[in-house]
Structure formats: structure tokens, C-alpha cells
Amino acid sequence: MLKTVVMQGKVVVITGATSGIGEVAAQKLAAMGARIVMIARNSERAASTLSRLRQIAPGVEHRVHYADLSRLGEMRRVARQIALAEPRIDVLINNAGAAFDRRQVNEEGIELTFATNHLSYFVLTEGLRESLLAAGAARIVNTSSEAHRRAKLDFDDLQFTKRYRLFAAYGRSKLCNILFTRELARRLEKNAVTANCLHPGFVATRIGDNNRGPVSYLFRFAKIFALSPEKGAETIVYLASSNDVANSNGQYFYKCRPLAPSKEAQDDVAARRLWEETERLAKIFPSFEEGPPRRSN
Ligand SMILES: NC(=O)c1ccc[n+]([C@@H]2O[C@H](COP(=O)([O-])OP(=O)(O)OC[C@H]3O[C@@H](n4cnc5c(N)ncnc54)[C@H](OP(=O)(O)O)[C@@H]3O)[C@@H](O)[C@H]2O)c1
């Protein structure tokens, strides 16, 4: 049986809670007593998620902050806004993600898969650092994917200016999620905050539906055989709430169990270099500083 920490009164910041896996995870955590602070870009879907959360847990002040997480300026603004509004954050779930069949860039010139799936995880985590440290044993949960298995990093062309392909770019962004989690965990070692990542399984959500033509048909057909979002949310909820993983740090999980990721995803030199490249790109805050020794829970 899973041992669950008390979520009553805990503050959970989550991205991608207007659909799919994140929406179910937010509902489950709200049902356990958490106050949900979500970051969303679509006001209709956010209102619908919020109203469901308020039905599940009436009287709790669930909130929404709006931002398009494919745009660096918006990532930074929303991180600042939430840091001001939430001086203590117990759980940060970086979950928003997308797959694009054509190479597109945002107004800062950053490729959209890389920006949405990797850079937003980095900028939000760094921007909310003080609030996470203030909670003591806070948890950071990053949604990655088994799609990372065949991916490789190319530090000379991280954003696929040459030969962009959807599955290569998406897989690389999910490899970045694991390497980011590893390096973050290493930097957090002297604090009580932990960082872990996960594969939710292949889940029937809206992922890929933003594309047109053959790619969209491929996604829709494959999803006939996929898991339900309820099943897909299980490992997120587990990492956010179970006592079993109170001291896990830097690990990759699938079906609520640790799983060894690919060789590339275990490369600590690459993880450190990716952090530095991302930090340079994000042109932001200093990284997590060393703090007091880790508390055991
Ligand atoms: N489904 C799978 O089989 C699978 C497998 C492995 C990993 N994953 C990962 O699971 C995570 C959740 O995906 P999902 O499958 O639940 O897909 P989904 O139903 O498409 O949900 C994606 C969520 O991310 C949000 N999002 C996307 N781009 C955004 C942006 N620019 N700004 C703000 N929010 C944005 C979406 O908001 P909107 O409602 O506004 O679109 C939505 O809430 C992703 O990281 C994905 O890579 C999924």
C-alpha cells in the first residue's frame, strides 16, 4: 500500500493542468487536500479545470496564473508573479508539453519544442527557487517520457536548426527533462528539496493534436491503444505525495518505480553542460545555492 504524506494545506504549482495527465493529477492532489496553483494559457480550459477543482475541494483557494510557456518573457513574468503570491511552495510539477511537426521559433528566436518542454521547466524552477526552499522538504516533479530513449544531444545545434524532425526534437526535449532533473538534484543535495522525473506511459491526451495532416492522423490512431489520463497521472501523484519517495532525488520513474533511463540520460557531464547552456539562454537567476544539510523525513 502507498504511504501518502498529508497534502492538506500544501501548495502545488502545476503546469499543463488544463488537459490530459496534468488535469487529472491536479484533481487527485486537490482531492487529497492540496491547494492548486496552475499556470495556463487558455482561459476557457483553465476556467473549466478551476471549476472542477472547486467542486472537488470547496472552500480552497485554487488559483490560475496565465502564461504562454513557449515564450521566455512569459515564463519569467509568471515565475515572478507566483513567487510573489506564494512565499511557500511544497510541490512544483513541470508538466506542460507539446510536439510540433514543423520547426517554429518564438519571439526570442527559440525553437518551440525546446522552449516549451525544457526551457519552461528550467525558468519556472529557478524563478520559484526561494518559495521552494522556504517550504523545506519541497518536491519538484518533471514530466519526461520514454521518447527520450533514442534521443541524443548536439551542443552545436541544440534547437535543430538543421534537419528538424518532430520525434527527434520531442525526444531530445524529454532527454533534457531527465538531464535537467539530474543536475537539479545534484545542486539540491545539501537542501531538503528533491527533484525527480517520470514517464507517464503512452496516454490518450491532446498531445500532438495541434498538428495537421499525416502527423495528426498518426497521433490520433496511436492513441486508440493508449492508457487513460487517470492511469497516466498516477506516477505524478505518487512523486508529489507518497512518503515512499520522500528522499528520492534525481531519479526517473515509470509506474511508480525507479527505472534506469538511457545511457545519454545518465551523462552527468552533459547534464552540467546543458544546465549552463540553458542558463545562458534564459539569461536569468543564479542557480540553486548550497544550503543547510538535507533533512530526513
Ligand atoms: N500523452 C502521452 O502519451 C505522454 C507520454 C509521455 C510524456 N508525456 C508528457 O506529458 C505531459 C503532459 O502532456 P499530455 O499528454 O497530458 O498532453 P495534453 O493533453 O496536450 O496536455 C498538455 C498540457 O500542456 C499545456 N501546454 C502546452 N503548451 C503550452 C504553452 N505554450 N503554454 C502553457 N501551457 C501549455 C496544455 O495547455 P492547453 O490546454 O492550453 O493546450 C495542456 O494543459 C507533457 O510534458 C508530455 O510531453 C505525454
Q: What is the pLDDT of residues 23-66, one digit of tens each?
A: 999 999 999 999 999 999 999 999 999 999 999 999 999 999 99
* Residue 242, helix vs strand vs coil: strand
Question: What pLDDT sits at residue 296?
Answer: 39
Return the number of other C-beta atoms located less than 10 Å from residue 290's C-beta: 10
Cell numbers at 163, concatenated: 534537419
Ligand 1 neighbourhood includes 203 CB (under 6 angstroms): yes
Q: What is the whole-number distance in angstroms between the Cα of residue 22 and the centre of ligand 1?
A: 8
176: part of which helix (H) or strand (E)?
helix 166-188
Ligand 1 pocket mutation pick from 66, 143, 239 by most atoms within 8 angstroms of CB: 143
Q: What is the whole-number distance in angstroms between the Cα of residue 13 and the centre of ligand 1?
A: 15
Residue length of the chain: 297
Q: Going by CA atoms, what residue is nearest to atom 45 of ligand 1? A: 97
Ligand 1 neighbourhood includes 261 CB (under 6 angstroms): no
State the catalytic residue, choosing from 170, 217, 252, 254.
170
What would you measure as the largest C-alpha separation in the chain, in angstroms? 53
Among 91-95, 110-114, 152-156, 279-283, which stretch is predicted with the lowest mean pLDDT? Answer: 279-283
Ligand 1 pocket mutation pick from 82, 203, 216, 252 by most atoms within 8 angstroms of CB: 203
**257-258 and 11-15 beta bridge pairing:** unpaired
Ligand 1 pocket mutation pick from 95, 107, 167, 202 by most atoms within 8 angstroms of CB: 95
Residue whose C-alpha cell is 479545470: 49
- Determine whether 3 is exposed, middle or buried from the number of CB atoms within 10 Å of its CB (0-12, 13-18, 19+): exposed
- If one compares 74 and 289, the residue with the highest pLDDT of the two is 74
Ligand 1 neighbourhood includes 16 CB (under 6 angstroms): yes
Q: What is the whole-number distance in angstroms between the Cα of residue 241 and the centre of ligand 1?
A: 21
Phi, psi of 6, rounded to the nearest 5 degrees: -70, 125
Active site residue 170: yes
pTM to 2 decimal places: 0.94
What is the average pLDDT across 139-145? 98
Ligand 1 neighbourhood includes 200 CB (under 6 angstroms): yes
- Bridge partners of residue 36, in order along the sequence: 12
Residue whose C-alpha cell is 536548426: 161
Ligand 1 neighbourhood includes 21 CB (under 6 angstroms): yes
Give the whole-angstrom CA distance, residue 235 versus residue 238.
5
Residue whose C-alpha cell is 545555492: 289
Q: What is the pLDDT of residues 264-297, one digit of tens each?
A: 999 999 999 999 999 999 985 444 444 444 443 3
Residue 221: pLDDT band (50, 70, 90) is confident
Strand 194-199: give its sheet, edge to edge. Answer: 63-66, 35-40, 11-15, 91-94, 139-143, 194-199, 252-254, 257-258
Ligand 1 neighbourhood includes 49 CB (under 6 angstroms): no
Residue whose C-alpha cell is 491536479: 26
Ligand 1 neighbourhood includes 173 CB (under 6 angstroms): no
Question: What pLDDT sits at residue 217?
Answer: 85
Q: For residue 207, give the ligand 1 atom closest to its CA.
A: 20
